[in-house]
Structure 1
Amino acid sequence: MAKRPIDPRVKLRHIACFLEVARLKSVVKAADALNMSQPAASKTIQELEEILGVSLFDRSRRNLFLTPSGELFQRYASTSFTALRQGIDSLGSAQADEIVKVGALPTVSARILPPSVQRFSEQHLPARARIITGPNAYLLSLLRMGDVDLVIGRMADPDAMTGLAFEHLYSEKVVFVVRPGHPLLGVKHFELAMIEPYQTLMPTPDSVIRPFVQRLLLAHGVSNVRDEIETVSNAFGRSFTRYSDAIWIISEGVVAEDVADGQLALLPVDTAETLGPVGLTTRTDTSQSFAAQALIQSIRDVAAGFERS
């Protein structure tokens, strides 16, 4: 029995618009990302739904969420779109070096990636690395779309891992860091509640470690964090903490070298309950190129040293 042909009315623009709306949960944001007008984006989604004969989005709430049919269609549309992108990219690989695109959370950007990329570069392959940083949800959306080859950082919630695979490399915890000479470093019997009078740098709500931090603070009766600043910027957090009395709550890997060099200091907080796995996240439906495998192996080799230390 012959397979049913794809409806010729389904165009690439329909798929691209659908995937962006699904990723951003907003027609307005998707239109902006695709450089098209909001009415045109809305019309494109409506056309696709009419062609498929199903509703792809639940419009009963402020943000758009996929219906069960939409989730099913996204799974196959995303895979197909990624395969097409890889096919186009492969045609130009003979004329240009391959680019291995890595989505990296701040914790690994400062610690594991520099020596890993150095090892990768020393292999002199016809390839180069491109590092893209940002919050976890954003990086995973890039991974699903094929805009990055892998993501390295803390493991996401199970609900966000559908169609993805995680390889554990090592574990790390959250730490509380301050500048050398900070008043709290001289306290003999330190308690976590003592941080309340001080300005605090917190991970953003969409960061992987935010729930761990909130549970830890609540468990120690800390409910009144003063002048909270939300950031995942390594550069800002490092600079602001060194030149103020602020307390920076951040993954250990981000500040490990600063602490070792004496540029920052750890408050004596038991954060064992925030320990979590750091590793590689990849798609289950695609295979890695030789260059990407080489970079992944470099990351594994460097991470092995962290796990032993």
Structure 2
Amino acid sequence: MSQRIIDPRIRLRHIACFLEVARLRSMAGAAEALNISQPAATKTVQELEALLEGQLFDRSRRRLALTAFGEVFFRYASTSLAALRQGIDAARGAHDAAIVRVGALPTVSAHILPDAVRGFTRDNAGVTPRIITGPNGYLLSLLRTGDVDLVIGRMAEPNAMVGLSFEHLYSERVVLAVRPDHPVLTAGHFHLQMIEDYQTLMPTPDSVIRPIVERILLAQGVTRLHNEIETVSNAFGRAYVRQTDAIWIISEGVVAEDVAEGQLALLPVDTSETLGPVGFTTRTDTLASLATVSLMQAVREVAERLRRTGA
């Protein structure tokens, strides 16, 4: 039985360009990242679509989006490129590289990762942790292409977990944070609809907690947010709510230390419905390096300590 041969006209440059456009959702952004012209990037993607006999991107929106055909191809193409990179590293004797690349959602980078990295670097001299933060979709795209070794954060929706595995560490909820002397804290009989009178900092549409936030707001009759700002920046959110009457809707881990130190306060609203799992997301088709395994264990130990203390 003869094996099916991959069309030799499909080159590595086609795959690399496609993955970069899919990751950035922008032809111009991909061209800049690949150090080629935008027309060259456009031509490369069009060549690939012609060879595959299918449209990879929906070009009717302001930002490019993968078609259903493109989504399927992306999963396999990204996995293949990641496996190729791992094979090259292994052949060069660099399987246990001196860099561990971690994609971390803001809640993890603020709450659990600092202690874990401190312990890891103490016990693993010569290994450099590289921490990359951003929205969940962006980090998962980096994981699929092998640009990060693991992602730490909330578990993604099931349709985004194809080819990936998740290890639960702990659970956390979404909270509403304000400055300690915020006027709503002194109002009697607080209810969630009161936040409509204030500016609100919301997670961005591509963040993993955005659908969760939207569901709880709708369930509580909140339909008219005032002068909404979308951000996943810890630094901006923290600075902005301290200087204004804005209300920050964010994962509890991001503001846990600020609340403990009295820099921020939480609104008295039941958000137990937003409780969700936080943990490791890894690829199912690759083996973690020894350094990556060591860092994961350091994170587990910190998570377990926080779980025991209730921090």
Q: TM-score, normalised by structure 2?
A: 0.90
Structure 1 residue 104 displacement after superposition: 0.6
Question: Which residue of structure 2 aligns with residue 149 of structure 1?
Answer: 149
Task: Look up the equivalent residue of 1:55 and give its one-letter code.
Answer: G
Task: Look up the equivalent residue of 1:16 and give its one-letter code.
Answer: A
Distance (Å, rounded) in 1 between the aligned partners of 2:238 and 2:138: 23
Question: Which residue of structure 1 aligns with residue 270 of structure 2?
Answer: 270
Question: Which residue of structure 2 aligns with residue 261 of structure 1?
Answer: 261
Question: Which residue of structure 2 aligns with residue 218 of structure 1?
Answer: 218
Unaligned 5+ runs, structure 1? none
Distance (Å, rounded) in 2 between the aligned partners of 1:180 and 1:72: 48
* 292 and 88 in structure 1: CA distance in 2 versus 1, 3 angstrom threshold: same
Question: Which residue of structure 1 aligns with residue 183 of structure 2?
Answer: 183
The Cα offsets for residues 90-110 of structure 1, whole Å up to 9 and x where unpaired, read as 53749x961100001100010
Question: Which residue of structure 1 aligns with residue 248 of structure 2?
Answer: 248
Asked whether the equivalents of residues 21 and 29 of structure 1 are also in contact (C-alpha less than 8 Å), the reply is yes
* 234 and 64 in structure 1: CA distance in 2 versus 1, 3 angstrom threshold: closer
Question: Which residue of structure 1 aligns with residue 208 of structure 2?
Answer: 208
| 1:269-308 → structure 2 map (5 Å cutoff) | 269-308=269-308
Unaligned 5+ runs, structure 2? none
Task: Look up the equivalent residue of 1:41 and give its one-letter code.
Answer: A
Kindly tell me the number of residue pairs found equivalent between the two proteins: 306
Structure 1 residue 55 displacement after superposition: 1.9
Structure 1 residue 260 displacement after superposition: 0.5
Distance (Å, rounded) in 1 between the aligned partners of 2:278 and 2:16: 31
The Cα offsets for residues 242-261 of structure 1, whole Å up to 9 and x where unpaired, read as 12222111110000011011
* 254 and 286 in structure 1: CA distance in 2 versus 1, 3 angstrom threshold: same
* 287 and 185 in structure 1: CA distance in 2 versus 1, 3 angstrom threshold: same
Distance (Å, rounded) in 1 between the aligned partners of 2:262 and 2:122: 30
Structure 1 residue 182 displacement after superposition: 1.5
Question: Which residue of structure 1 aligns with residue 56 of structure 2?
Answer: 57
* 175 and 74 in structure 1: CA distance in 2 versus 1, 3 angstrom threshold: closer
Asked whether the equivalents of residues 56 and 67 of structure 1 are also in contact (C-alpha less than 8 Å), the reply is no
Asked whether the equivalents of residues 170 and 306 of structure 1 are also in contact (C-alpha less than 8 Å), the reply is no
Question: Which residue of structure 2 aligns with residue 231 of structure 1?
Answer: 231
- With 137-146 and 299-308 compared, the bigger mean Cα shift is at 299-308
* 195 and 82 in structure 1: CA distance in 2 versus 1, 3 angstrom threshold: same
Structure 1 residue 45 displacement after superposition: 2.8
Distance (Å, rounded) in 1 between the aligned partners of 2:205 and 2:32: 24
Structure 1 residue 58 displacement after superposition: 5.5
Q: Percent identity?
A: 66
* 124 and 107 in structure 1: CA distance in 2 versus 1, 3 angstrom threshold: same
Task: Look up the equivalent residue of 2:199 and give its one-letter code.
Answer: Q
Distance (Å, rounded) in 1 between the aligned partners of 2:46 and 2:184: 58
* 252 and 30 in structure 1: CA distance in 2 versus 1, 3 angstrom threshold: same
Distance (Å, rounded) in 1 between the aligned partners of 2:197 and 2:13: 53
Q: TM-score, normalised by structure 1?
A: 0.90
Q: Secondary structure at the match of 1:205?
A: coil
Distance (Å, rounded) in 1 between the aligned partners of 2:178 and 2:233: 16
Asked whether the equivalents of residues 174 and 252 of structure 2 are also in contact (C-alpha less than 8 Å), the reply is yes
* 245 and 74 in structure 1: CA distance in 2 versus 1, 3 angstrom threshold: closer
Structure 1 residue 169 displacement after superposition: 0.7
* 225 and 297 in structure 1: CA distance in 2 versus 1, 3 angstrom threshold: same
Asked whether the equivalents of residues 22 and 66 of structure 1 are also in contact (C-alpha less than 8 Å), the reply is no
Structure 1 residue 76 displacement after superposition: 3.5
* 47 and 240 in structure 1: CA distance in 2 versus 1, 3 angstrom threshold: closer
Structure 1 residue 15 displacement after superposition: 1.6
